[in-house]
Structure 1
Amino acid sequence: MDKLGALKMFVVTAQLGSFSRAAEQLGKTPSALTKAVNHLEAELGARLFERSTRRILLTESGRLYLETARQVLQRLEEAGEEIEQLQHGLRGNLKITAPLAYGQAFLDQVCGGFLEQYPQINLQVDLCDEFVNLLESGYDLALREGHDDLPGLIARVVGSNRLALCASPEYLARKGLPVTPDTLDDHEWLLYRHPLLSREFWWAERDGQRLSLAQPQSPRLRSDNYDLLLANALAGRGLLHTPLWSAAAYIADGRLVRVMADYDIDPDSFGSYILAVYPSHRRATAKVLAFIDYIAGFLASRGLS
């Protein structure tokens, strides 16, 4: 029997929990799938499913075998893609996940330029702020802020995650008060709420001196959506801690002003880098590496490396 075909039939059956549904999806007969699984069980000397008249369930041996079978099929698919790309150039689908705020800040331009450079690659880009488990989700690549010592993942630094304290010229003129460590409590704040960020203080450093500055306890606006806060900062409603990758264009055109610019602001648990991350058990394909190189070059060209 075709071993790879049997593995695929086993994997789909395990995913759907039914021989009949798996047969329908694969265009096979239920008896063909049963025969394939029986062949694998005979070869292994162990049962992969516990069968009843109502349902089938993976055994402990089945769960172990399923993970290996998935990896075998995935790696063969990737190898096939690599060989095809060696012969015909970069092509195929690339599935990426990234934080919401990356979209308008730079990822829309990155994706547009990448598609122009590689016309035979199709992108799927899903933006969300929830943590995505790359080992289970099927994404080829994730863009993240953070640290590069992630278990089970390979991370490459593609940009920096430096923070700035910013406000609009209209706000600063209206308030008429300098922004210094001593006046922070007298200012209006737009505060980003996130479980990784301290609610007590933020750190800033100047000339080797590290300061612990109290977080505003009564901000004018608090939100877990960064884009909402940025829009209000641009509208003149207060001070905002903002990544330079987001604020650089607005600082350049004068819509935002960087205050306390001689202080280095600690990005806290978000880490100092923008990372491109992919699972270590999967060899990075040429199209993944091409996207990583493209975004690293894009951010470097804007002084954000």
Structure 2
Amino acid sequence: MSQWEGISEFVAAAELESFTRAAQQLSTSVAQVSRRIGRLETHLGVKLFVRTTRKVALTEAGQLYYHHCKQLVSGLETANSALTELQSAVKGKIRLTAPVYFGENELAPLLTDFAAQHSDLELDIELTNRQLDIVEGGFDLAIRLGNLSDSNLVAKKLGTRQMHVCASPEYIAQYGQPHSLAELASHHCLVGSQPYWRFSEKGLHRQIRVDGRFRCNSGHFLAMAARKGVGIAQLPDVYVHQDLQQGSLVELLLPFREKEEGIWALYPEKSFLPHKTKMLLEHLVQGLKGR
């Protein structure tokens, strides 16, 4: 038998001096309480109770055993209460990784608001453009943008982002603007970490290889170069939405704009998520919805 079997029944019966009241407290039957205590006595090789028609009383061995078992049951109850509290409160630590620019400009206000709302929560945030191994790095969450590669991680969609092909009014005045994908070959394209841009043409996904005299793996740099008239860039809205609203950049090739991409939270597959993590995910969904 399990070493724990019958312990809860024994402690309840010892404190209430009754198998009946112990059964009521534990929401079980008197027969079950009697059977489990009987098996416990057989396992231990001692009598724990003296049974009478009106009540039960502890033997000397029972009193000694109760003294130690009470501490075990109390410790288990404390552990269960602590776990319940952890699952119902936003407290503890969340370790998160995200891309640098997106983290600084989109996540920073949301994460700092969340931290201010929950004073018992500890946030450990690592911003990097490298895709770190979540499990090996001990992360609870990783924020990823765009198309996801296959993995055994769980992906929750937090929101969407839109890619924009854009140039400054000065560039357009000097070089004109492309009206077809083929015309990109005759323009100065600002090339990022990938040598191709993504489009949608007649409902089909297309990747167009681009080239130019300015290359950089930083979207921030590419957006700056586009504003200064160096060339045409394809960038997500986090880099250019204000410029497009203010007119310092003009969107090009709108008929070929690809559908919105996902903003994702990835986390290791688990049977359940801690309450603190669920609350943070919901906070990010609501915050990114209003961006």
Q: What TM-score results when the alignment is normalised by the length of structure 2?
A: 0.63
Tell me whether 1:213 sits opposite 2:208 in the alignment. yes
Q: 1:92 offset after TM fit, Å?
A: 2.4
Kept in 2, the 8 Å contact 1:145–1:274? The answer is yes
C-alpha contact 2:158 2:281 (8 A) present in aligned 1: yes
Q: Which moved more, 1:248-257 or 1:173-182?
A: 173-182
Q: Deviations over 1:114-147 (max 9, x none)?
A: 2233333232211112121112111111001255
Question: How many angstroms does 1:180 deviate by?
Answer: 3.4
Tell me the amino acid that sits aligned with residue 267 of structure 2.
Answer: Y
Looking at structure 1, the residues matched to 99 and 146 of structure 2 have their Cα atoms a distance apart, in angstroms, of 12
1:111 alignment partner in structure 2: 111
- Counterpart in the other structure of 1:189: 189
Question: Displacement, 1:203?
Answer: 4.1
Distance in 1 separating the partners of 2:249 and 2:81: 49
Secondary structure (helix, strand or coil) at the match of 1:83 reads helix
SS of the aligned residue for 2:270 comes to coil
1:49 aligns with none
2:92 aligned residue: 92
With over 3 angstroms needed to count, the CA separation of the structure-2 counterparts of 1:86 and 1:156, relative to structure 1, is closer
Name the CA distance, whole Å, in 1 between partners of 2:257 and 2:191. 18
> Are the counterparts in 2 of residues 152 and 281 from structure 1 also a CA contact under 8 Å?
no
| Distance (whole Å) between structure 1 residues aligned to residue 130 and residue 190 of structure 2 | 22
How do 1:219-238 and structure 2 match up within 5 A?
219-238=212-231
| Counterpart check, 1:279 vs 2:268 | yes
Matched, 1:263 2:251: no
Structure 1 residues 184 and 121, CA gap change in structure 2 (3 angstroms): same
**Cα shift at 1:212:** 5.2
Structure 1 residue matching 2:254: 3-state secondary structure: coil
CA distance in 2, matches of 1:79, 1:223: 53
Report what 2:153 is aligned to. Answer: 153
Superposition CA RMSD, Å = 2.9
Letter in 1 for 2:199: A
- Alignment deviations for residues 195-222 of structure 1 (CA, whole Å, 9 cap, x no partner): xx4x4x5442244365553322xx1211
Identity of aligned residues (%): 24
Contact 1:203/1:213, CA 8 A, preserved across alignment = yes
Instruction: Output one character per residue of 1:158-203: Cα deviation in whole Å (capped at 9) or x when no partner.
Output: 112431112223332343444532431222221112xxx4x4x544
Mind listing any 5+ residue stretches in structure 1 that lack a counterpart? 1-77
Change (3 A) 1:209 1:171: same
Residue 114 of structure 1: SS of its match in structure 2?
helix
Which residue does the alignment assign to 1:126?
Answer: 126
Return the match for 2:235 from 226, 231, 242.
Answer: 242
Alpha carbons of structure 1 residues 281 and 85: separation in structure 2 relative to 1, 3 Å: closer
Partner of 2:282: 293
Q: What is the aligned length? A: 213
Tell me, what secondary structure is at the counterpart of 1:159? Answer: strand
Deviation at 1:234, TM superposition (A): 2.8
Say whether residues 1:253 and 2:246 are aligned partners. yes
Confirm or deny: 8 A CA contact 2:91 2:276 kept in the other structure. yes
Residues 100 and 127, structure 1, Cα contact 8 Å, conserved in 2: yes
- Say if 1:128 and 1:82 are closer, same or farther in 2 by CA, change over 3 A: farther
Aligned residue in 2 for 1:170: 170
Is the Cα–Cα contact under 8 Å of residues 192 and 222 in structure 1 kept in the other structure? yes
Residue ranges of structure 2 left out of the alignment (5+ in a row): 1-78
Match of 2:136 in 1: 136
Contact 2:87–2:275 (Cα < 8 Å) also in 1: no
Cα distance in 1 between the residues matched to 2:96 and 2:108: 13
SS of aligned partner of 1:262: helix
Q: Which whole-Å CA distance do the structure 2 matches of 1:118 and 1:249 have between them? A: 31
- Is residue 2:78 matched to residue 1:83? no
**CA separation in 2, counterparts of 1:81 and 1:255?**
55
